[in-house]
C-alpha cells in the first residue's frame, strides 16, 4: 500500500518557515549532540572545549530565539507544538540561565574534581526540555519535554557521586519526581478518555461542547495534571522535597533548578490556562470553587515558606524555603490574571526578575561554598564585607531584591504582581502576601547583619574570585538594578509577550 494512502503527505512536509521556527531547538539539540561526540574522545583541554561549545550553543539558541520573536506564529507538527513570541521569549531566558550556570560552574567543577563532559551535555538537554515544554500544545509532547528536562536534572543533582548528601538528594528527587510525572501522565490519559484528543486547546473545546456537561473523568484528569505542575513548582503541600534536594545538589545546579525548572513549569502552566480559558465559567479548572482552593494554596505556600525560612541557618535550605514562598506569590498572579487587563504579564515579569536575582545569589554561593559545599552556613558569612566587599554588596542587592525592597527588580515585579491582584479584587490575598513579604525581610536582612556587623571568620585572603563567576555576578547585579530603576521596558515586553498567546 502506498504511503500516501496511509499518511497525509502534507503532514510530512516541512516548509522553510517551519525550519526557521525550529532553529533555536535545532541549535540546542545540535550542540548537545556535538558535545556527546566530543565526550567520546580524549581531547586536549576537553573541559575548555566543552564549556566553550556549551556557551556558543546557548548564544546561538538565544540569537535565533530573538530573531524568531518577531516572526508570525507557526503551528508545527500538526498542532503538537507552536513557535510564537511567547515560546521564544522563554527560549531566550532558558538559554541565558544555562549559559550563566555554565559560567558559574567552571571553577566549581575544577575544585570538586567533577569536570566531566556529561555535566555540560545534561545542562543543554535540560534546557532543551524547558524550551520544548513551553512550546507544547499536545499532552504527549508536554510529557516528553517534561521528562527530558527532569531526567537531566535528576542526574545533575547527584553529580557529586562520592557525596552521600548528593546521592540522597538525587534519589529523593527522582522517586518523588517520577511519582508526580506518573500523576500528570495518568491525568492526561483521563483527559484523552474524556475528550478523545490530546491537543490542549481541543480538550477544553470538546469538554464544554458536550450536551451532558463536563464529565467527572475530565475534572479528575484536569486536577491530576494540575497536581503534577504544582509539584514541579513546589507549592504547598507538594513542597517537602525541595529543601533536601536543594541542599544536596551541587550549588550551581541548585541555582539552575530554582530558576529554569520553576520558570519552565510556570510558563507552561500559563499557556495551558490561556488555552483552556481559565477564569471563564465554562472552564473545567475554573469557577469559584477552584479559585478558592488555589487561594488557600497560595496563602499556605507564602506563609509556610517564609516562616520555616526564618528557622534556617543553612543558606541553601533558607533559599529553598524562600523559593517556596515565591511560588505562592506567583500563584497569586495566576489567580488575578483572568480578572484584570494586565493578564499574565505580571507573572512573566516576576519569573524573569526572580531568575536574574537567584542566578546571581547562587553564583555567589558557588564562590563561597568551599569544598563539598561545606561553607554555606549563615555563620560562614561573618565579616564578608571586610574580606570581599564587592561580593557582600552584590549579595545584599540580591537579597534586597528577593525581599522586594526598592530600587531593585524584585520590588518592581512584586509591586506589579500585587497591583494586578488588587485590580482583580483579591484584597485580602494581597494583604496576606504583603505580611508574608514582611516576614521574609527578617531572614534576608539577617544575612546582611552577618556580613556587615560581625567579625570575619577564617583567613582574610581566601583565594581569588573566579573571573567567570565574577562576570555572572556583575551581569546579574546590573540587570537587577536596571530593571528596578527602569522597569517600564521589561513591563512592556512582558505585555507584548503575553499578547502573542491570544493570537
For the stretch 391-430, pLDDT in tens is 999 999 999 999 999 899 999 999 999 999 999 889 999 9
The pLDDT of residue 199 is: 86
**Distance (Å) of CA 218 to CA 173, 210, 283, 334:** 29, 12, 11, 22
The answer as to whether 299 is a domain residue is yes
End-to-end CA distance of the chain: 40
Give how many domains the chain has, as a whole number: 1
Rounded CA gap, 351 and 279, in Å? 21
DSSP state of 260: I
The b-or-e profile of 27-49 (16+ CB within 10 A means b, else e) is: bbbebbebbeebbeeeeeeebeb
The answer as to whether 83 is a domain residue is no
The answer as to whether 200 is a domain residue is no
Residues of the domain holding 319: 287-503
Residue 8, Cβ neighbours under 10 Å: how many?
A: 10
Q: Which three cell numbers stand for residue 125?
A: 538537554
The answer as to whether 345 is a domain residue is yes
The answer as to whether 229 is a domain residue is no
Q: Where do runs of H (alpha helix) occur along 158-261?
A: 164-195, 200-208, 216-232, 241-248, 251-256
Secondary structure of residue 125 in the 3-state scheme: helix
Q: How many degrees, rounded to 5, is the angle at CA 286 between CA 281 and CA 292?
A: 120
**Mean of pLDDT over the chain:** 86
Q: Does 5 have pLDDT greater than 50?
A: no
Q: Which of 10-24, 281-295, 346-360, 471-485 has the lowest mean pLDDT?
A: 281-295
258 contacts 176 by C-beta, under 8 angstroms = no
Q: How confident is the model at residue 1 (pLDDT cuts 50, 70, 90)?
A: very low
The H-or-E segment that residue 488 falls in is helix 488-499
The answer as to whether 316 is a domain residue is yes
Question: For residue range 149-185, what is the model confidence (pLDDT) as tens digits?
Answer: 999 999 999 998 888 888 999 999 999 999 999 999 9
Q: How confident is the model at residue 225 (pLDDT cuts 50, 70, 90)?
A: confident
Residues near 263 by Cβ (< 8 Å), separated by ≥ 6? 90, 93, 94, 97, 130, 351, 352, 354, 355
**Distance (Å) of CA 103 to CA 51, 54, 155, 255:** 8, 10, 19, 12
Secondary structure of residue 75 in the 3-state scheme: strand
More confident residue, 442 or 465: 442
28 contacts 61 by C-beta, under 8 angstroms = yes
The answer as to whether 22 is a domain residue is no
- The mean pLDDT value for 91-109 works out to 93
Residues near 226 by Cβ (< 8 Å), separated by ≥ 6? 187, 285
The answer as to whether 443 is a domain residue is yes
Rounded CA gap, 101 and 471, in Å? 11
Rounded CA gap, 376 and 290, in Å? 40
Q: What is the pTM of this model?
A: 0.92
Q: Which three cell numbers stand for residue 448?
A: 546582611
109 contacts 150 by C-beta, under 8 angstroms = no
Question: For residue range 257-305, what is the model confidence (pLDDT) as tens digits?
Answer: 999 999 999 999 888 877 655 444 434 444 457 788 889 999 999 999 9
Rounded CA gap, 241 and 249, in Å? 12
Amino acid at each position: 500500500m502506498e504511503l500516501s494512502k496511509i499518511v497525509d503527505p502534507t503532514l510530512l512536509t516541512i516548509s522553510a518557515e517551519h525550519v526557521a521556527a525550529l532553529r533555536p531547538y535545532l541549535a540546542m539539540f545540535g550542540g548537545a549532540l556535538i558535545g556527546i561526540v566530543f565526550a567520546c574522545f580524549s581531547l586536549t583541554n576537553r573541559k575548555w572545549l566543552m564549556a566553550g561549545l556549551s556557551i556558543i550553543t546557548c548564544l546561538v539558541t538565544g540569537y535565533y530565539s530573538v530573531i524568531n520573536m518577531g516572526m508570525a506564529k507557526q503551528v508545527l507538527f500538526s498542532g503538537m507544538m507552536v513557535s510564537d513570541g511567547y515560546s521564544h521569549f522563554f527560549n531566550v531566558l532558558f538559554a541565558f540561565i544555562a549559559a550563566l550556570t555554565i559560567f558559574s560552574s567552571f571553577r566549581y567543577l575544577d575544585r570538586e574534581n567533577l569536570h566531566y563532559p556529561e555535566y555540560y551535555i545534561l545542562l543543554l538537554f535540560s534546557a532543551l526540555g524547558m524550551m520544548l515544554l513551553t512550546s507544547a500544545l499536545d499532552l504527549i509532547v508536554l510529557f516528553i519535554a517534561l521528562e527530558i528536562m527532569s531526567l537531566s536534572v535528576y542526574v545533575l543533582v547527584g553529580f557529586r557521586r562520592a557525596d552521600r548528601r548528593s546521592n540522597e538528594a538525587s534519589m529523593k528527587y527522582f522517586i518523588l519526581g517520577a511519582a508526580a510525572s506518573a500523576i500528570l501522565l495518568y491525568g492526561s490519559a483521563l483527559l484523552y478518555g474524556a475528550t478523545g484528543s490530546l491537543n490542549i486547546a481541543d480538550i477544553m473545546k470538546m469538554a464544554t461542547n458536550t450536551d451532558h456537561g463536563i464529565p467527572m473523568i475530565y475534572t479528575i484528569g484536569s486536577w491530576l495534571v494540575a497536581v503534577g505542575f504544582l509539584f514541579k513548582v513546589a507549592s504547598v503541600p507538594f513542597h517537602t522535597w525541595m529543601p533536601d534536594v536543594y541542599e544536596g545538589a551541587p550549588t550551581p545546579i541548585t541555582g539552575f533548578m530554582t530558576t529554569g525548572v520553576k520558570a519552565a513549569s510556570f510558563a507552561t502552566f500559563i499557556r495551558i490556562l490561556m488555552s483552556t480559558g481559565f477564569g471563564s465559567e465554562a472552564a473545567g479548572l475554573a469557577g469559584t470553587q477552584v479559585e478558592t482552593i488555589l487561594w488557600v494554596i497560595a496563602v499556605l505556600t507564602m506563609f509556610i515558606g517564609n516562616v520555616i525560612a526564618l528557622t534556617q541557618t543553612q543558606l541553601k535550605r533558607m533559599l529553598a524555603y524562600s523559593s517556596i514562598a515565591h511560588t505562592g506569590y506567583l500563584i497569586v498572579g495566576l489567580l488575578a490574571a483572568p480578572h484584570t487587563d494586565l493578564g499574565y504579564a505580571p507573572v512573566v515579569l516576576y519569573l524573569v526578575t526572580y531568575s536574574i536575582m537567584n542566578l546571581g545569589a547562587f553564583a555567589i554561593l558557588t564562590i563561597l561554598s568551599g569544598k563539598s559545599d561545606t561553607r554555606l552556613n549563615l555563620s560562614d558569612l561573618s565579616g564578608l564585607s571586610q574580606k570581599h566587599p564587592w561580593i557582600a554588596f552584590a549579595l545584599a542587592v540580591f537579597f534586597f531584591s528577593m525581599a522586594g525592597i526598592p530600587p531593585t527588580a524584585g520590588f518592581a515585579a512584586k509591586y506589579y504582581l500585587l497591583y494586578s491582584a488588587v485590580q482583580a479584587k483579591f484584597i485580602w490575598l494581597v494583604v496576606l502576601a504583603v505580611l508574608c513579604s514582611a516576614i521574609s525581610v527578617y531572614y534576608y536582612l539577617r544575612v546582611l547583619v552577618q556580613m556587615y556587623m560581625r567579625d570575619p571568620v577564617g583567613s582574610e585572603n581566601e583565594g581569588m574570585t573566579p573571573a567567570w563567576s565574577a562576570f555572572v555576578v556583575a551581569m546579574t547585579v546590573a540587570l537587577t538594578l536596571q530593571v528596578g530603576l527602569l522597569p517600564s521596558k521589561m513591563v512592556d515586553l512582558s505585555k507584548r509577550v503575553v499578547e502573542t498567546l491570544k493570537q
